[in-house]
Amino acid sequence: MSPRAPTLASAPDDRAGALLTIDLAAVVENWRRLKKQAPGTDVGAVVKADAYGLGMVQVAQALKAAGCVTFYVAHLDEAVALRAAVGATPRIVCMHGPAPGKTERDFAGFNVIPVLSSPQQIKAWRTFASTNDVLMESFVQVDTGMQRLGLTPAEFAAHMDDPDGFLGLHPLALMSHLACADTPAHPLNKQQLDRFFSALGTFRGRFPDARGSLANSAGLLLGPAWHFQFARPGIALYGSHPENPPADGKPRWPVVPVVRLLARILQVRRVDQAGPVGYGATVQAPDGAKLATVSMGYADGLLRSAGAGGHGLLDGLRVPILGRVSMDLTTFDVSAVAESAAQPGQFIEVIGTTHTVDDLAREAGTVGYEILTSLGSRYHRRYLPAPAAKP
Ligand SMILES: *Cc1c(COP(=O)(O)O)cnc(C)c1O
């Protein structure tokens, strides 16, 4: 008798330590709101890093169905996987661009638009395009005040002065990236806008049809001057606020929450003798406290820094994390919760509509970006579908 591989008899929900629900209708709604903010701009979607941890394939397919035609990723491998998911039509822009002399052929093969950010990338792309008679569009990136990627002002000027500097390129857009868009009053926003505007004017002297691309999510909220023709929002699509809370107490840009994260209670105990909780014995549980330990830890993206000050929701009540977050386990103080609601098998909501990604980020001393991109792979994931696209 040949041994047969066993098959699982239990439901995935019953095995998983935590449940992650991703609302694709909310992603689509967030995209529509940004699009409404910038009529006349091609508002795309940044789906790098697996759509900020939420699933690039599912997110891109939902947004494509809603009418999004331009997607941005960081890596070529992301672009190749995305091409398989969305088919031949959508524009895919790869922000890290080619490894000079090495990956140009794959950009052409998968019809991925490279962002060219250095003299080396530009030169290698020119050589590739002319050797192979490739007439492909590209983005050219200039640095306007971030010292990260993009041609420096001097490099840009040198390329403009050299009649062959951009020879054989078919730049669809000139691009730059904002350093402080999440802080609307920061003076660098206007400086970067001015520098970009001037570079684009120069660039259009050579390429009259070149479009501009400057804004991320927060950039779209700075005002129409920042919109240009291609916008690259990411974080707002995923339900995290793109801008810091306004100092004047004005309401924030309305994002629809996308993520719900529920951690399963493995055990509940009544402390019968006051004592320390968790690794390092950093916190004392008082006599009589009721503690619930859930199946979620830093290996699942519940950051260790959430240990002091983080909390969840159980039966509508705030329950604080007690002691250190371990790799697979976290203990909450559920003393305030009714006996019937604090039972093994029930769930503590770690992220939801009242305790949001941004709330958890604040408690952990970080930003929504890091919370989302840290979400673990051990969750049972559920996707709530976006409604069918309107004809
Ligand atoms: C990640 C990224 C974006 C998206 O930014 P959000 O703040 O998430 O909207 C846009 N442009 C570039 C160059 C990026 O790296």
108-164: pLDDT as tens digits: 999 999 999 999 999 999 999 999 988 899 999 999 999 999 999 999 999 999 999
* Residue 241, ligand 1, Cβ within 6 A: no
Lowest mean pLDDT among 1-15, 287-301, 337-351: 1-15
* Residue 235, ligand 1, Cβ within 6 A: yes
* Residue 234, ligand 1, Cβ within 6 A: yes
Q: Where are the domains of the chain?
A: 40-237, 259-277+284-384
Contact 188, 179 (CB under 8 A): yes
232-252: pLDDT as tens digits: 999 999 999 999 887 777 878
For the residues 68-82, what does the mean pLDDT come to? Answer: 98
- Cα separation of 176 and 181, whole Å? 12
pLDDT mean across residues, the chain: 95
Cα 165 vs. chain centroid, distance in angstroms? 34
Q: What is the domain class of 40-237 according to CATH?
A: alpha beta
Strands 380-384 and 18-23: parallel
Contact 322, 333 (CB under 8 A): yes
For domain 259-277+284-384, the CATH architecture is Beta Barrel (2.40)
Which of the following is catalytic: 35, 48, 64, 290?
A: 48
Write the single-letter amino acid at 52.
Y
State the pLDDT at residue 248: 78
Write the single-letter amino acid at 335.
S
179-198: pLDDT as tens digits: 999 999 999 999 999 999 99
Residue 290 catalytic? Answer: no
Residue 279 catalytic? Answer: yes
Q: Which residues contact 134 (CB under 8 A, 6 or more apart)?
A: 108, 128
Count the neighbouring beta carbons within 10 Å of the beta carbon of residue 390.
6
